[in-house]
Amino acid sequence: MAKRKIIEIDRDLCDGCGLCTEACAEGALVLDEENKARLAREIYCDGLGACLDVCPIGALKIVERDSEDYDAQATYRHVLETRGEEAAAHVHGAGHNRESRETERPTFPMGCPGSRSQEIQRPAAARPAAQISGHSELAQWPIQLHLISPHAPYFERSDLLIAADCTAFALGSFHQDLLKGKKLIIACPKLDDTSPYVDKLSELLKHNTVYSLTVARMVVPCCSGLVHLVNAAVEKSGVSLPVKEIVIGIDGQVTA
C-alpha cells in the first residue's frame, strides 16, 4: 500500500440521499444497511472527487492516506456488471479495457461525467458577416457569487436568476429566455470554493424582497450541487420562496 488520494465519508453527517452514488462513474460509493454512504471497495475510488459537490451537507472529502491503488480494470468490470456497458465506458481509464466489448469506443480518462470530453454535432449554417452583435439583457455587475454584495441595491424587489457558469454558453437563447428582466448571479459548484455561498445567499434573501428565484444548471451530476446550495440558503434565510429549477443539456436543450 502507498499513500494516495481517496474519498472519506463522515457517517455522522451523511443523511443517505444517495446523490454521491449517482455522481460516481466508478460505482465506488454505495448505501449500506444503515442508509449511509460507504466505499464499496477502495480500489474502485479514483480519488478525483466527482462526488464532492453533489453532497448537500458536506459529508464527503478527499483525504490522503494509505490505500490500495485505484484499479481501472477491476472498476470497469464492477460497473459493467452492476450498471451495464454504457456506464462502464465512462469509467476512469475505461478506454484501456476491451473486455466484453464488440467494438472499441473512444473514451477519455475522466472520473466525472461533467468533465467527459465529447463533441456536439450540429448542422452546418451559413457563415455570418464578420461582426460581433447581439442584445445583452445583463442588468448589473458584478455577477460572480464570490464578488456580489448581498446588500447591493439592485437586488431589492428583483427576480433573481442563479446560473451555473456553463449555462450561458450551452443555451444560445440564455439572455432572451432566462436572463431578461432578472438580476443575475453565476457560480460553479464544482470548481468554486463554495464554503461562503450559503451564508451569502441567505443574507441576500433576508435583506431584500426577491419576487422569484430561478436556478439554471447543466444536466451533469456535479452541477446539481448548485440547487442544493440555493435550497440550503433559502431554508437558512427563513424566507418562503419557491425555487424554480431549469436543467440544460450540453447540446443546449432544456431538459427540465
State the DSSP code for 178: I
Q: What is residue 107's predicted lDDT score, i.e. its pLDDT?
A: 41
pLDDT category at 108 given cuts 50, 70, 90 is very low
Task: Check pLDDT > 90 for residue 182.
Answer: yes
- In whole angstroms, how far apart are CA 239 and each of 199, 206, 208, 209, 234? 14, 7, 10, 10, 6
Rounded to whole angstroms, how far apart are CA atoms 83 and 71?
17
Amino acid letter for position 128: P
Task: Check pLDDT > 70 for residue 100.
Answer: no
CA-nearest of 60, 59, 100 to 77 is 100
Q: Work out the average pLDDT over 178-194.
A: 92
Q: Work out the average pLDDT over 66-76.
A: 92
pLDDT > 90 fraction of the chain, expressed in percent and rounded: 57
Contact 159, 210 (CB under 8 A): yes
Rounded to whole angstroms, how far apart are CA atoms 222 and 60?
13
User: Mean pLDDT over all residues of the chain?
Assistant: 85
State the DSSP code for 144: B
Task: Check pLDDT > 80 for residue 185.
Answer: yes
Phi-psi category of 5—alpha, beta or left, where left has phi over 0 and alpha has psi -120 to 50?
Answer: beta
Model pLDDT for residues 9-61, shown as the tens digit of each residue: 999 999 989 889 988 989 999 999 899 999 999 999 988 887 887 888 889 99
Positive or negative, the Cα torsion across 156, 160, 165, 169? negative
Positive or negative, the Cα torsion across 239, 247, 187, 52? positive
Q: What is residue 95's predicted lDDT score, i.e. its pLDDT?
A: 59
CA-nearest of 194, 254, 200 to 222 is 194
Q: What is residue 256's predicted lDDT score, i.e. its pLDDT?
A: 66
Least confident of 96-105, 126-135, 204-213: 96-105
Domains in the chain (CATH in brackets) are: 2-112 (3.30.70.20), 153-248 (3.40.1360)
pLDDT higher for 61 or 134? 61
pTM beyond cutoff 0.85: no
Q: What is residue 131's predicted lDDT score, i.e. its pLDDT?
A: 62
CB neighbourhood size of 139 (10 A): 14
Q: What is residue 99's predicted lDDT score, i.e. its pLDDT?
A: 43
pLDDT higher for 227 or 115? 227
Rounded to whole angstroms, how far apart are CA atoms 222 and 226?
8
pLDDT category at 96 given cuts 50, 70, 90 is very low
Contact 21, 30 (CB under 8 A): yes
